[in-house]
Structure 1
Amino acid sequence: MAKVIIVGAGPAGIMAALSASKNNEVILIERNNEIGKKLKLTGGGRCNITNNRDIEEFFEKIVTNKKFLYSALYTFSNISLLDYFSSKGLEYKVEYDQKVFTKSDKADEVIEIFKRDLMKNDVKIYYNTKINDLIVEENTVKGVVTDEGKEIFADKVIITTGGKSYPTTGSDGSMFDILKRHGHMINTLYPALIPLVIKEGFIKNLQGIAMKEVIISTMIKKKKIERQGDMIFTHFGISGPGVLKFSSYINKILKDREVEIKIDFLPEISRDELSNIIRGNKSILNNLKQYLPQNFIKEILNILTLNEVRVSELRKEDELKLIQYIKEMNLTVEDTITIKGAMVTSGGVSVKEINSSTMESKIIKNLFFAGEVIDIDAETGGYNLQMAFSTGYLAGMQE
């Protein structure tokens, strides 16, 4: 029986261990004192397991290297994953935007299922163990070296150590340095699914105001990037699901320059309809407050010095400025918050050096990769977790 070492007990590592344990002796190495630490944070702690969309539609939601993921996602799809959880007694529910959560809203249920299954499959778990190096001879991996200098030998090693976001969960990026030493190309790491820092000072006055289903857009190389979702104003800029989705399309550009964006706060209402709403009664504020948060309207009227103006006194040019702020607010994104605050890391091991049908390294024989350590990322909504489970399963099943 072959021996397989898996480094990192996040979603990709756990699924790789379960997949590999069918025909192999498996050792799962985790630097924390528990498995699935980052898994507990997904979906705001509720565990957004996957997305219920047809697997073909997943590819529209993948931001980086979607073609690389065809084999993995079709080998172990979202349906395969949900069938697995159902067979273990997990009840789940499908919410807005086809996001799948545990019925109880507790990530611990998922962790407990994994723990029981790993134990049932005789997977040995080494907790509180960090890997400092790989043992590589003649371009073939032979095992790993722990931070205490202990050598553990194996026939196959699967790296599932994640990216560089949420370093407190163990994904501090240190594995990338080890892989570089052994000849692997590591593409630049960027924060993905991350709040945006806005240049305009008036944003601070909108702090805490939440907006529903806005459309955020920009032009990148003559191509329009547009994403819709909820957002919230913060002391530094903007956040929320819609912003996080959008951030993954501009994160690389922000390294070199600022990005001008536009926000439509009422995408379902045309400019002409909005004009009629504004001029409905005596008070502009009263006319708009059934469509937008009152504090938001007050601040916009204040910026435009229209807070004391009655509808009958409203000049056409001021009305157009007001409509502009609501339908096409121009903001300047100057940065993201640090990668430590990103939900996902973009960048990592180059997919050019990984066989997409097996997840095996093209540089080092018997070395495999799965999950966020690879240069793949997707929008928010359960897609990144599914990619981790799928690549983990595929890497684990290889003989």
Structure 2
Amino acid sequence: METNTELIIVGAGAAGLMATATAGEAAIKAITLERRHRPGLKLLLCGNNRCNISYQAQPKDMLRDYGEPLEQFLKTAINEFTSDDLRKLMAKWGLQTIANRNRIYPASEKADDVLHCFTDKIRDLEAPIVFNCPVEAITPLENGGFLVKTNKINLTAKYVLLATGGFSYPKTGSVGDGQRIAKELGLKVEDPRPGLAGIDIKTPWLQQGEKEDVPNIAVEIFDENGRNVGMTRGNLLVEGNCLRGTAIFDATRIVARQNLQIPSFVLDLFPTQSASALSSRLGKANLAASLEKQGIPPLLSRSFAELSRKLNASEFLKQIRLEVDSIRPLKEAIVTVGGVSLDEIDPTTMEARKIPGLYFAGELADIDGPTGGYNLHAAFATARLAINAIKAKLRPEPKEKPKPTRNFTKQEPRQPAKTTKKRSSRGDRWDAPEPPPWRRRPQ
């Protein structure tokens, strides 16, 4: 079958950029199609514009943090492309990285530098990206390959890699194109839910426009039956009646992955102290001032002092039951929980089980992780895995010729040389080999 190219990559976000650069290094003829006017728009927002690209951990520990079923599904991708592998690759491509509390950032702590690392590499490889080019439909062809229809051109390719992201931050181009295409091709797609999102509470802790940050809290999550389904640790960011921060974000991811309909949250502002130890530290006079001494910001200290006025202060601060009004919407979430079902994808190659030649990478699939660089690493690792699988099909490694082996089979015994019978002077017979012709005496 004649094709325009060997591979079409749909999407130029984190997964798409990694796929494009990796395909270029592998000498795969690829074209990348991007809906927006420039690549990596959501990448620029990651980690508060610092771009937390990964988490420094051993693969088994990293996989455990994703939780099931992702712990099993991502095993090949993470083991074949670890956080150390990512840092070495970034250094090779010109980006130095640092680790801060195991979170890996560019040394400059600027998301722009991560994006430039990819775009510079792609430019050096002369790998084409077509912008303002949303994909409208993908059709498998009878003799193999795919027809890809866009608003500008139609292309054919042997392989297609979908890397269109999820539904969050739609202004960056994450509008669910890949999930729609997967549904049209008959694949199962899990409903999208907000992961790593904020929470609105019914009673505001601060006035509108006020903002405070608490560095280390714990959040316990309970289902509608009161069963504890998880706990998270991290910071708390309070803005009016909205709670954000890593502890809250990771808690809402647990809610989304477990499809909890009526979750409840209990906050512990002092997870490293017991209630009795906290009580002795706070004392009985001027609770707000005591809270400030314990590291709670001034505005929140006054708010918590008022909320606990008729209660046991230490017990209240160790078990603040949130009256949740709502979880922030999907468009504001950091990641999308849901997407192409993991049952539809071969985790050792990222290829669709039902449609050979169609591959997936990143958040388009039902893949997400906690805060700390897990989501970007999953996008990079699945993109590398998919491209390596495509390369193996396009450029199969030649089989080594078998080395000659010695034949140890039983051989026939050697025949003795032809002999002539002669009589010695003593009359006894002895056998002598026949001499060569040039030594025979004339008759």
Query: Normalising by structure 1, what TM-score?
Result: 0.90
| Partner of residue 120, structure 1 | 124
Alignment check: 8 A CA contact 2:8 2:159 kept: yes
CA shift for structure 1 position 82: 0.7
Answering whether residue 291 of structure 2 is matched by residue 300 of structure 1, we say no
| Partner of residue 289, structure 2 | 286
Distance 1:287 1:181, change over 3 A: closer
Distance 1:203 1:388, change over 3 A: same
Distance 1:302 1:363, change over 3 A: same
Answering whether residue 169 of structure 2 is matched by residue 144 of structure 1, we say no
| Partner of residue 46, structure 2 | 42
Q: Secondary structure at the match of 1:154?
A: strand
- Structure 2 residue corresponding to 1:52, chosen from 34, 53, 56: 56
Residues of 2 paired with 1:202 and 1:10: CA distance? 36
- Structure 1 residue corresponding to 2:344, chosen from 353, 359, 364: 353
Alignment check: 8 A CA contact 1:209 1:295 kept: yes
CA shift for structure 1 position 140: 4.8
CA shift for structure 1 position 252: 5.3
Q: How big is each residue's C-alpha offset from its partner over 1:241-265, in whole Å with a ceiling of 9 and x where there is no partner? A: 21111110013567632x2211110
Q: Secondary structure at the match of 1:48?
A: coil
- Identity, in percent, stands at 28
- Structure 1 residue corresponding to 2:318, chosen from 327, 342, 346: 327
Ranked by relative contact order (alpha carbons within 8 Å, sequence separation 6 or more), the top structure is 1
Alignment check: 8 A CA contact 2:351 2:386 kept: yes
Q: State the AA in 1 paired with 2:307.
A: I
Q: Secondary structure at the match of 2:355?
A: coil
CA shift for structure 1 position 173: 0.8
Residues of 1 paired with 2:45 and 2:206: CA distance? 27
CA shift for structure 1 position 202: 4.0
Unaligned runs of 5+ in 2: 394-443
Alignment check: 8 A CA contact 2:206 2:299 kept: no
CA shift for structure 1 position 138: 4.2
Distance 1:107 1:300, change over 3 A: closer
| 1:245-264 paired onto structure 2 within 5 Å | 245-251=250-256, 256-257=261-262, 259-264=263-268
Unaligned runs of 5+ in 1: 307-317
| Partner of residue 76, structure 2 | 71
| Partner of residue 400, structure 2 | none
Residues of 2 paired with 1:301 and 1:223: CA distance? 28
Alignment check: 8 A CA contact 1:92 1:102 kept: yes
CA shift for structure 1 position 65: 2.2
Q: How big is each residue's C-alpha offset from its partner over 1:293-315, in whole Å with a ceiling of 9 and x where there is no partner? A: 332232233234x4xxxxxxxxx
Alignment check: 8 A CA contact 2:19 2:383 kept: yes
Q: How big is each residue's C-alpha offset from its partner over 1:299-358, in whole Å with a ceiling of 9 and x where there is no partner? A: 233234x4xxxxxxxxxxx5x521222111111334211111011111000111111111
Alignment check: 8 A CA contact 1:251 1:336 kept: no
Alignment check: 8 A CA contact 1:66 1:376 kept: no
Distance 1:261 1:76, change over 3 A: same
Q: State the AA in 1 paired with 2:122.
A: L
Q: Secondary structure at the match of 1:135?
A: strand
Alignment check: 8 A CA contact 1:18 1:118 kept: yes
Q: Secondary structure at the match of 1:90?
A: coil
| Partner of residue 198, structure 2 | 195
Q: How big is each residue's C-alpha offset from its partner over 1:190-223, in whole Å with a ceiling of 9 and x where there is no partner? A: 1111111223x14345952321210010234634
Q: Secondary structure at the match of 2:372?
A: coil
Structure showing the higher helix proportion among its residues: 1
CA shift for structure 1 position 135: 2.0
Is the deviation greater in 348-357 or in 289-298? 289-298
| 1:19-38 paired onto structure 2 within 5 Å | 19-21=22-24, 22-38=26-42
| Partner of residue 11, structure 1 | 14
Residues of 2 paired with 1:247 and 1:140: CA distance? 42
CA shift for structure 1 position 109: 1.7
Alignment check: 8 A CA contact 1:139 1:365 kept: no
Q: How big is each residue's C-alpha offset from its partner over 1:151-186, in whole Å with a ceiling of 9 and x where there is no partner? A: 101010000000001111111013322221110111
- Structure 2 residue corresponding to 1:159, chosen from 157, 162, 174: 162
| Partner of residue 399, structure 2 | none
Instruction: State the aligned residue count.
Output: 381
Alignment check: 8 A CA contact 1:204 1:237 kept: no
Residues of 1 paired with 2:36 and 2:86: CA distance? 25
Distance 1:253 1:82, change over 3 A: closer
Q: How big is each residue's C-alpha offset from its partner over 1:30-71, in whole Å with a ceiling of 9 and x where there is no partner? A: 112222111111111111111111222111221452211111
Distance 1:387 1:289, change over 3 A: same
Any runs of at least 4 consecutive aligned residues in structure 1 with deviations exceeding 6 A, and if so which?
A: none
Residues of 1 paired with 2:342 and 2:143: CA distance? 18
Residues of 2 paired with 1:5 and 1:260: CA distance? 44
Residues of 1 paired with 2:337 and 2:117: CA distance? 29
| Partner of residue 92, structure 1 | 97
CA shift for structure 1 position 141: 4.2
Residues of 1 paired with 2:43 and 2:9: CA distance? 17
CA shift for structure 1 position 269: 1.8
Answering whether residue 218 of structure 2 is matched by residue 227 of structure 1, we say no
Which of these two proteins has the greater Rg computed from alpha carbons?
A: 2
| 1:304-323 paired onto structure 2 within 5 Å | 304=308, 306=309, 318=310, 321-323=312-314
Q: Secondary structure at the match of 2:301?
A: helix
Answering whether residue 273 of structure 2 is matched by residue 269 of structure 1, we say yes
CA shift for structure 1 position 397: 1.4
- Structure 2 residue corresponding to 1:172, chosen from 170, 175, 188: 175
